Amino acid sequence: MATIRGNDDSNRINGTNVADRLFGMSGDDTIYGFNGNDTIDGGEGNDRIYAGEGHNRVVAGEGNDFVSAGAGNDVINAGEGNDTVHAGNGTNNIQLGEGNDMAVSGTGNDYINAGEGNDTVLAGAGNDVILGGEGDDRMLGQAGNDRITAHEGNDTLDGGAGHDTMSGGEGSDVFVWNGGRDVITDFETDDDRINLSHYTRFDSWGDVRGAARQVGNDVIITHGGDRLVIEDTRLNQLGGDDFIW
C-alpha cells in the first residue's frame, strides 16, 4: 500500500495498481487512483479525481470538484462546492453535500443523496435510491425499479422505465410518468403536477379521466400493462391543470 501526500500547490498524484492512500491537501489537484481499492482525499481546492477500477472511498473535500470512478463499488463524498460525480457500474454510495451538484451513475443499485443545493441526479439502469435535499432538484432514475424521495424545494422526479416510487415532499413538484407501474405517494392537487408529455397514449384530461378509477384512498390510472397509482388522492379533485401534456 502506497501513501502519497501532496502539498499546498496544485499537485498531480499518481497511485499504483494496489490499494493506495492518496491525499491532495489544499491545491487544485489531479489525482489518479488506478486499479487498487483506494482511499482518496482531495482536500481543499478544485480537484479532479479519477478513482479508477477497484472499490474506492473518495472524499472530494471543499471546492468545485470532479470525481470519476470505475466499475467498483465506490463510496463517494463530494463535500462542499459545486461538484460533478461520474460513478461506474458498481453498487455505489454517493453523498453530494452542499452546492449545486451533478451525479451520474451506471448500472448498479446505487444510493445517491443529493444534499443541499439545486442538484441534478441521473441514475443508471439499476434499482436505485435517490434522496433530494433542500433546493430545486432534478432526479432521474432511468431504467430499474427506483425509489426517489425529494424534500424541500420545487423538484422534478422522473423514475424512467421500471416500477418506481416517487415522493415529492414540500414544494411544487413535477412527477414524470413514462409508463411502467409507478407510485406517487404524496401528490398535492393544485400544487404538484404530473408530466405525461413522454407518455404518448394520453394527450388530454379526457383520456386520463377515462382510464382512471378510485380504489380506496388512491387514484389508479391504467393503460395496457402500465399503471400509475396516486396515493391518498380523490379522483374528483383532479383535473386537466394537474397534468402536463
Domains of the chain, residue spans: 1-77
pLDDT, tens digit (0-9, with 9 covering 90-100), for 76-88: 999 999 999 999 9
Q: Which residues contact 108 (CB under 8 A, 6 or more apart)?
A: 73, 87, 88, 89, 90, 91, 92, 124, 126
Provide the pLDDT confidence category of residue 40 given band limits of 50, 70 and 90.
very high
DSSP 240: G
Mean local confidence (pLDDT), 24-40: 96
For residue 210, CA distances in Å to 46, 174, 192 come to: 54, 22, 21
pLDDT, tens digit (0-9, with 9 covering 90-100), for 86-140: 999 999 999 999 999 999 999 999 999 999 999 999 999 999 999 999 999 999 9
| pTM assigned to the model | 0.95
For residue 1, the model assigns a pLDDT of: 77
pLDDT, tens digit (0-9, with 9 covering 90-100), for 204-214: 999 999 999 99
Answer yes or no: are the C-beta atoms of 177 and 158 closer than 8 Å: no
E runs forming strands in 71-190: 75-77, 84-86, 93-95, 102-104, 111-113, 120-122, 129-131, 138-140, 147-149, 156-158, 165-167, 174-176, 181-184
pLDDT, tens digit (0-9, with 9 covering 90-100), for 128-150: 999 999 999 999 999 999 999 99
- Count of CB atoms situated within 10 Å of the CB of 145: 18
**Maximum Cα interatomic distance, the chain, rounded to a whole number of Å:** 66
